[in-house]
Chain A
Amino acid sequence: MLEVRDLHAYYGKSHILQGVSLDVNAGEIVSLLGRNGVGRSTTIKAIMGEVEPHGSIKFKGQEIAGLKSHSIAQLGLGYVPENRDIFPTLTVRQNLLLGQKSARNTGRWSMEDMFELFPNLRDRADTPGGVLSGGEQQMLAMCRTLMGDPDLVMVDEPTEGLAPQLVEKVAELLNEIASRDLSILLVEQKLTIALKISARVYVMGHGEIVFEGTPEDLRRNEAVRQEWLEV
Chain B
Amino acid sequence: MEVFLFSTFNGVLYGMLLFMLASGLTLIFSLMGVLNFAHASFFMLGAYFAYQISTYTGFWSALLVAPLIVGLVGALVERYGLRPVHRFGHVAELLFTFGLAFVMEEVIQMIWGKVPVPYDVPELLNVAAFEWRGLQYSAYRLFMLGVSVAIFVALFLFIAKTRVGLMIQAALSHPQMVQSLGHDVPTIFMWTFGFGCALAGIAGVIGGNVLGTEPSMAITLGPIVFVVIVIGGLGSLWGALIAALFIGIIDNLAITFDVSIYPLFALFGVAREAEGIMSDLVNLTSGGISPVLPYLMLVLMLIFRPRGLFGTRDV
Is B a genuine binding partner of A?
yes
Which residues of A are in contact with B by a Cβ distance under 8 Å?
48, 50, 68-70, 72-74, 79, 81, 85, 87-90, 94, 97-99, 101, 103, 144-145, 148
In this complex, which of B166, B167, B178, B186 has the most chain A Cβ atoms within 10 angstroms of its Cβ? B166
Q: Which of A50, A88, A90, A148 contacts B181 (CB 8 A)?
A: A148
- Closest Cβ–Cβ distance, residue B291 to chain A (whole Å): 37
Q: B177 near A85 (CB under 8 angstroms)?
A: yes
**In the assembled complex, which residues on chain B have CB atoms less than 8 Å from the CB atom of A50?**
176, 180
Residue of A nearest to B178 (CB): A98
Which chain B residues (136-193) contact chain A, with CB distance < 8 Å? 163, 166-167, 169-170, 172-174, 176-186
With A70-B184, A103-B163 known as contacts, the answer to whether A98 contacts B179 (CB < 8 A) is no
A-contact bits for B186-221, CB 8 A (1 contact / 0 none): 100000000000000000000000000000000000
Which residues of chain A are within 8 angstroms of B172 by Cβ–Cβ distance? 89
Query: Known contacts being A90-B169, A90-B170, A103-B163, is A98 close to B183, with CB within 8 Å?
Result: yes
* CB nearest neighbor in A for B185: A70
A97 x B179 contact (CB < 8 A): no
Query: For chain B, what secondary structure do more than half of its interface residues adopt (helix, strand, loop), or is it mixed?
Result: helix
CA A185 – CA B183 in complex, angstroms? 22
CB neighbours of B182 from chain A (8 A): 70, 73-74, 101, 148
One of B163, B174, B185 near A87 (C-beta < 8 A):
B174
Complex Cα distance, B13 from A28, in Å, reads: 63
A73-B180, A74-B182 provided; 9 other pairs, C-beta below 8 A?
A48-B180, A70-B179, A70-B185, A81-B180, A87-B173, A87-B174, A87-B177, A98-B166, A101-B183
Query: Within the complex, what minimum Cβ distance (angstroms) separates B158 from chain A?
Result: 15
A141 nearest CB neighbor, chain B only = B177
Residues of A within 8 A of B185 (CB): 70
Q: Judge whether B174 and A85 touch: CB under 8 Å.
A: yes
A69 B174 Cβ-Cβ under 8 A: no
The count of A-to-B residue pairs whose CB atoms sit within 8 angstroms is 60
Q: Are the CB atoms of B179 and A69 closer together than 8 Å? A: yes
* Distance of A18 Cα from B48 Cα, bound (Å): 57
Q: Known: A90-B166, A94-B166. Is A101-B179 also a contact (CB below 8 A)? A: no
> Are A81 and B181 within 8 A (Cβ)?
no
Q: Which residues of A contact B181 (CB under 8 A)?
A: 70, 73, 98-99, 101, 144-145, 148
Please list the residues of chain B having a beta carbon within 8 angstroms of any beta carbon in chain A.
163, 166-167, 169-170, 172-174, 176-186
Report the Cα distance A89→B176, complex, angstroms: 16
B174 lies within 8 A of A70 (CB): no
**Shortest Cβ distance from residue B160 to the other chain A in the assembled complex, whole angstroms:** 10
Q: How far, in Å, is A26 (CB) from chain B's closest CB?
A: 21
Assembled-state Cα–Cα distance A81/B178 (Å): 12
5 A–B contacts from the bound complex (CB under 8 Å)? A73-B179, A74-B182, A85-B177, A97-B163, A103-B163
> What B residues does A81 contact at CB under 8 A?
177, 180
Chain A hits for B183, CB < 8 A: 70, 98, 101
Contacting residues, chain B, for A103 (C-beta < 8 A): 163
What B residues does A73 contact at CB under 8 A? Answer: 179-182
Give, as a whole number of angstroms, the nearest-CB distance from A104 to chain B: 11
Bound Cα distance from A68 to B178, whole angstroms: 12
**Which of B163, B178, B181 counts the most chain A CB atoms within 10 A?**
B181
Chain B min CB distance to A69 (Å): 5
Contacts of A94 in B (CB 8 A): 166
Alpha-carbon distance between A94 and B168 when the two chains are bound, in angstroms: 12
- Chain B residues contacting A69 (CB-CB under 8 Å) are 176, 179-180
Return the chain B residue nearest A150 by Cβ.
B182
Complex CA gap A73/B179 in Å reads: 8
Closest residue on chain A to residue B188 by CB atoms: A70
* A88 engages B173 (CB within 8 Å): yes
Q: Which residues of B contact A70 (CB under 8 A)?
A: 179-185
Q: How far, in angstroms, from A174 to B291 measured CA to CA in the complex?
A: 64
Q: Which 9 A-B pairs have the closest CB atoms?
A: A73-B182, A85-B177, A87-B170, A101-B182, A79-B180, A70-B179, A85-B174, A74-B182, A69-B180
Which residue of chain A lies nearest to B172 when distances are taken between CB atoms in the complex? A89
Q: In the assembled complex, which residues on chain A have CB atoms less than 8 Å from the CB atom of B173?
A: 87-89
A89 to B30, CA, bound (A): 14
**A88 CA / B173 CA spacing, docked (Å):** 8
- Taking CB atoms, residues of chain A closer than 8 Å to B177 are 81, 85, 87
Closest chain A CB from B304 CB (angstroms) = 27
Roughly how many angstroms separate A69 CA and B174 CA in the complex, as a whole number?
14
Q: Pick the contact of A98: B167, B176, B184, B186 (CB < 8 A).
A: B167
**Shortest beta-carbon distance, B156 to chain A, in Å?**
14
Chain A nearest Cβ from B185, distance in angstroms: 7
Q: Is the CB of A68 within 8 A of B174?
A: no
**A89–B166 Cα gap in the complex (Å)?**
10
In the bound complex, CA of A81 to CA of B179 (Å) = 12
Interface-central residue, B177, B178, B180, by most chain A CB under 10 Å: B180
Please give the distance in Å from B102's CB to the nearest CB on chain A: 33
In the assembled complex, the Cα of A216 lies from the Cα of B291 at a distance in Å of 78
